[in-house]
Copies of this chain bind each other. A is one copy, B any other.
Amino acid sequence: MVTRTETAAATRRALLRAAAELLDTGGPDAVTLREVGARAGVSRGAPYGHFRNKEHLLTRLAIDAWDALADTVQELRNDDAAPTARLERALLALIDVARRRPHRYALMFSTPADDPDSAAAATRLEQQFLAIVADVVGQQDALRHGALLMSSAHGIAGLELSGHLAREKWGVDGEHLVHMLVGAIAPPAAAG
């Protein structure tokens, strides 16, 4: 038997899946509620039964992306590689999202950070990340170094995304930069 709430939940999932697919393949302009509804098998007005408006639907998408990345980084903590290598992998995980799902990555950081659920998801990722940072620079300096490392990785991702970090121009790529960064910070904890 299929209850009403079950089909409604399925519709909601279908809407989010369709929106994610449209965003990934066609960019933000391709995400129209009409097309999202069509791909989910419902009409253009149906999304309003599940999300206050289009922005809230996109915010939900961003939250899912934050959660997925937090899961990825959490799995890294079980990795028994050297702390610096693990840190590099965590930073590259962020950059990897930008490379594989550029539009979704952009959405993550363009969605309002004051949304409680969104902030919670971001905080979970930050905690996972900070634990990995602490294994390299110590608990004392984890926060400030974590802030710097996350900023830098985000910047690398952003410049790669916008095409301003072309390898043939700078002679380096994201992996290079992450390695330089961790190398510059890791052993002789830099002066602040």
Q: Taking beta carbons and an 8 Å cutoff, which residues of A are in contact with B?
A: 109-110, 112-114, 122, 143-148, 150-159, 162-165, 170-172, 176-177, 179-181, 183-185, 188, 190-192
Contacts and interface: CB of A to CB of B under 8 A. Distances in A.
B170 A147 contact: yes
Nearest to A188: B188
Contacts of A152: 148, 151-152, 155, 181
Given A144-B171, A180-B192, A191-B183, A109 B164 contact: yes
Nearest to A185: B184
A162 B119 CA distance: 11
Give 6 closest A-B pairs by Cβ, nearest first. Answer: A155-B155, A113-B163, A184-B190, A154-B155, A152-B152, A151-B155
Contacts of A146: 170
Given A155-B151, A155-B152, A170 B190 contact: no
Contact of A170 (B144, B153, B163): B144
